[in-house]
Amino acid sequence: MQTIASVTEKLSVVVGVDDLPTALHSVDIAADEAVRLSVPLVIVHAWPGWHRGTRYRAVAADRKDGRHLLDLAVQRAEHAHPGLPVRAELTDDSGAKALLERSGQASLLVIGHRDTAGRRLGWGPTATYLAHHSSCPLLVHQGPATSRGPVVLAASGRHTATMELAYDFAARTTSPLVAVHVWTAGHPGQARDSGRGAAERRLADVLAVGGARWPDVEVERLLINENDIAYTVQRAMRRSRLLVAGVGHKGWTIEVARRSTFADVGTRQACAVLLVPPGWPSGLLAQAASANTARC
């Protein structure tokens, strides 16, 4: 029989680093999560970096520079968290391919945001690809954002790992949680409020489960029509500290979040986005917490 500890020990936190100034901040976030889950941290750098010919040319012109970047990242993580197992990997694969492969044995994948060709139109190709294909939850770090805003949950109306991750982050940061649920109007001739009423009941039921486990989290429920999704996500990413959403089989959540990153030129950078792939098991946080308690 597989024990809780053996399950969590297999699931490292993986972070990709490049030449961006925000890369080491991504390492800080990943190291904090690795400590919380009591799992190793893996820092990955793809040499020679991002594609040549774009506005952003990789600093790592040779493998020595790439190794130096990794050494700095490892030292930073070990200084912040003495005793944390940290491993660095320099790969010849593209960043997307290398990180995708490692997501299969990870509890979390962290990557910094790089806007497309410097035009501030959304995520770069690596983040976009991983958002659609990562095997584990993906945290897209997008630079400085408010540390006092709420955690926004795109609620599906079911008890899922997405809901657990949102509640857990809100509890750890003593942040309020805004649960946003989309409702669809009924068929012609059907009462307009019938679809909304059913959505309200589904959302109340699923939030009752989270509220029982995280009773100190302040929760606000927000029901929106599907026509208001893009506007709501844009506002959430400007005013929140984290947006948590399930990827879904159609991937519309990814596209809305990606396009909303810099929808309003001149505003501050958007909050981080945590995307949870379909089928990611709920209960992993409880397993990690139990493992931590057993080791104390």
Res 151: pLDDT = 93
In a domain, 291, yes or no: no
* Pair 19, 117 in one domain: yes
Spatial contact of 137 and 275, defined as CB atoms under 8 Å apart? yes
Q: Which residues of the chain have pLDDT under 50?
A: 1-9, 49-60, 115-121, 187, 189-190, 262-267, 289-296
Spatial contact of 80 and 30, defined as CB atoms under 8 Å apart? no
In a domain, 289, yes or no: no
In a domain, 293, yes or no: no
Write b or e for each residue in 117-132: b if 16 or more Cβ atoms lie within 10 A of its Cβ, otherwise e. eeeeebbbbbbbbbbe
* Pair 269, 160 in one domain: yes
In a domain, 177, yes or no: yes
Res 56: pLDDT = 45
Q: Which two tokens stand for residue 70?
A: 């990794």
- pTM for the whole thing? 0.81
In a domain, 287, yes or no: no
Residue (of 276, 177, 180) closest to 233 by Cα position: 180
* Pair 96, 134 in one domain: yes
In a domain, 294, yes or no: no
Distance between CA atoms of 70 and 286, rounded to whole angstroms? 32
* Pair 73, 16 in one domain: yes
* Pair 43, 78 in one domain: yes
Distance between CA atoms of 77 and 41, rounded to whole angstroms? 9
* Pair 135, 167 in one domain: no
In a domain, 248, yes or no: yes
* Pair 240, 198 in one domain: yes
Residue 165 sits at φ, ψ, to 5 deg, of: -65, -40
Res 34: pLDDT = 93
* Pair 157, 193 in one domain: yes
Tens digits of per-residue pLDDT, 95-144? 899 999 999 999 999 998 654 444 444 577 888 889 889 999 999 887 66
Res 157: pLDDT = 74
Spatial contact of 163 and 153, defined as CB atoms under 8 Å apart? yes
Q: Which of 118, 141, 164 is the last residue of a domain?
A: 141
* Pair 235, 201 in one domain: yes
Res 181: pLDDT = 87
Q: What's the CATH number where 251 sits?
A: 3.40.50.620
Strand order in the sheet with 41-46: 86-91, 41-46, 12-16, 106-112, 138-141, 272-276, 242-246, 151-154, 177-183, 219-225
* Pair 72, 187 in one domain: no
* Pair 203, 125 in one domain: no
In a domain, 286, yes or no: no
Query: Which sign, positive or negative, has the C-alpha torsion 25, 30, 34, 39?
Result: negative
Spatial contact of 110 and 16, defined as CB atoms under 8 Å apart? yes
**Number of structural domains in the chain:** 2
Domain of residue 8, residue span: 4-141
* Pair 181, 259 in one domain: yes
